[in-house]
Structure 1
C-alpha cells in the first residue's frame, strides 16, 4: 500500500520538514519512512519507550490521557504542522499520554537516533523543534482553559477548525461519540452542539461524516482560543517578528503543486 501512495506524497507536505534548511532536509530524507496510519491505530502506548518520531502529512494524531476509570480526554492533536514524539529531544524516552490516529492518512517516521543526531548538532533542527514545542505547549494550555471556561458549542467550533487546518478538504469522518471523548464531555452535549451548528447552516452532519459549509461562520462562533493557538503557531514557525528564524520555505508550495 505504501508503495502505491508514495508517488502522491512528499516529506514537504509536513510543514516542519519543509521548514528545514536544504542541507538538513537532504541529509535526513533518505531516512524518512513513509507509513500509512489507520484510523484508531496506536502509535505510542502510555509509558512505552519511543523508538521513532512521526511527521504526519495527511493523517491527524490525537494525544490523550486515559484515567483509571477508563474515561479519556484529548490533550492535543498533531497534523501536518507538527511532529509526534517531542519527549525524545526534551530529555525523556516515554510519555504518559496515548497517541492514536484520529483521521486516517499518511506520514513519515524517523528513527530516534537520526532525529537525536540532528538535534544534538545544536543548529537549525534544534531551534525548529524547540519553537514547535513552545507552540504545542500553547495549544495544550489553551485547550485546558477552553475546556474549563467555554461552552460546548465554542469547544466544538474550535476543535473542528483545528481539524480543518490539518486536512485538505472541508469534510471530516468523525462520530459524535469520538468527539465527545476527545473533548471530555457527554455525548448528549455534542449532539446538542452539533445540532445547533447544523441548524445555523454551518455544518452538515450525517452517519459519522461532518461537512463544514461555512468556515467563516464557525470562526465567528468559536471562542478566542482558536485564534490564540493559530497566531502562536504562525508567529513561531513562520518566523513572524523574528529576523533570525526561517519561515516555511518554498518546498511547501512546491509540494502543494504536485
Structure 2
C-alpha cells in the first residue's frame, strides 16, 4: 500500500493518518503527460487526480473554441474539484501543460469514503476555496495588471509547482495561457530579463531572482498562495 511519507501531493499529505489509510488502497499512480486531458466540457468524469509532479490548467472556452487559463494546479491540489460535491461534469477543459504523474481515484470511491469519515472532506473543501481565490486573482490580474506583471505572476506560480528554477515551455504556450499574442510574451520576457529576474531561451525560462519577481508582480501574486498555507499548509 502507498505510504503517506512517500507522497508529494499536498492534499493527500494534509489528510489525517486515519483518512489517508482509507484513501490509499484506492489510489493508482498514473502518467500525466503534456496535453493529458483530465476533463472536457460535458463529458462524464470517472476519476479525480492528485498530481505528484507537472503543471495543469483549467481552461475556459468560448463557443468557437478559443480558450483562456482560469486557474493553475499541480502538486498542491486535486482536479476536478467539482467531484467533491458529487458532480461528474464540468463546463471547461482541464489539461496538463507540463507533463508529470499523479494518483487517480474513482469518483464513486471518494463519495463512499466520505460517508465513512466526517473529517475526510475538510482538506478538499479548503482547497476548493483556495482555488476559487486563485481564479478571482487571475481575473484581477487579467483586468488590472500589465502583461509583464502577469507573466511574473505566472512564472512564480509555475515555480511553486515544479519546485526548481527552470521551466520548459514555449513562448506560444505562454501566449495561449495568458490570452495574449506571442510577440507580447516575447517583449514581456525581455522586460523581465532586462530587470535580471529571469533568463529566457528557446523553450526555457529560468528564474534568477525570485524575490525580485514577487516585487515586480505588484501584488497580483501572493494572496492565493498565502490562503493555501494558512488553511492547508504543513503544520
TM norm. shorter chain > 0.5: yes
Counterpart in 2 of 1:152?
147
Counterpart in 1 of 2:194?
199
Superimposed CA distance per residue, residues 148-187 of structure 1 (whole angstroms, 9 cap, x where no aligned partner): 1100011000111011000121111111111111111121
Superimposed CA distance per residue, residues 78-107 of structure 1 (whole angstroms, 9 cap, x where no aligned partner): 111100011112242211110111111111
Q: State the TM-score, normalized to the length of structure 2.
A: 0.94
User: How many aligned residue pairs are there?
Assistant: 233
Q: State the TM-score, normalized to the length of structure 1.
A: 0.86
Q: Secondary structure of 2:70's partner?
A: strand
Counterpart in 1 of 2:157?
162
Q: Secondary structure of 1:89's partner?
A: helix
Contact 1:135 1:233 in 2 (8 A): yes
Instruction: Compute the RMSD of aligned alpha carbons.
Output: 1.7
Contact 1:120 1:126 in 2 (8 A): no
Contact 1:118 1:126 in 2 (8 A): no
TM superposition shift of 1:121: 3.9
Counterpart in 2 of 1:46?
41
Q: Distance in 1 between matches of 2:85 and 2:176?
A: 28
Q: Distance in 2 between matches of 1:176 and 1:139?
A: 23
Structure 1 position 235 matched with structure 2 position 220: no
Q: Distance in 1 between matches of 2:174 and 2:138?
A: 14
Counterpart in 2 of 1:142?
137
Structure 2 unaligned runs (5+)?
none
Q: Distance in 1 between matches of 2:200 and 2:46?
A: 38
Counterpart in 2 of 1:115?
110
Deviating more after overlay: 114-123 vs 187-196: 114-123
Structure 1 unaligned runs (5+)?
1-6, 239-247, 250-258
Structure 1 position 80 matched with structure 2 position 56: no
Counterpart in 2 of 1:30?
25
Counterpart in 2 of 1:255?
none
Q: Secondary structure of 1:81's partner?
A: coil
Q: Distance in 1 between matches of 2:110 and 2:192?
A: 42
TM superposition shift of 1:71: 1.9
